[in-house]
Amino acid sequence: MVLDITGGDEDTVRIVMAALEERWATSGISPVQREPGVPGVRARVYADILRPKLQ
């Protein structure tokens, strides 16, 4: 599954990615992108929501 995360600031988006990483097998914390003239930031995470993260 591809998850596009949009938030008001980089810290918020990174917190969301970290929470997803704790729950499922994901591609990890990805770079946060900011598009000029568009409010907020975004990032993309690939997650296997059927497979819990291995401890």
Count of helix runs (H) and strand runs (E) in the chain: 1, 3
3-state helix vs strand vs coil in the chain, percent to 5: 25, 40, 35
Q: What is the pLDDT of residue 51?
A: 76
Q: pTM (2 decimals)?
A: 0.81
Q: Residue-wise pLDDT tens for the chain (55 aa)?
A: 999 999 999 999 999 999 998 888 899 899 999 999 999 999 999 999 887 766 5
Q: What is the pLDDT of residue 18?
A: 93
Q: What is the pLDDT of residue 36?
A: 94
Q: What is the pLDDT of residue 31?
A: 94
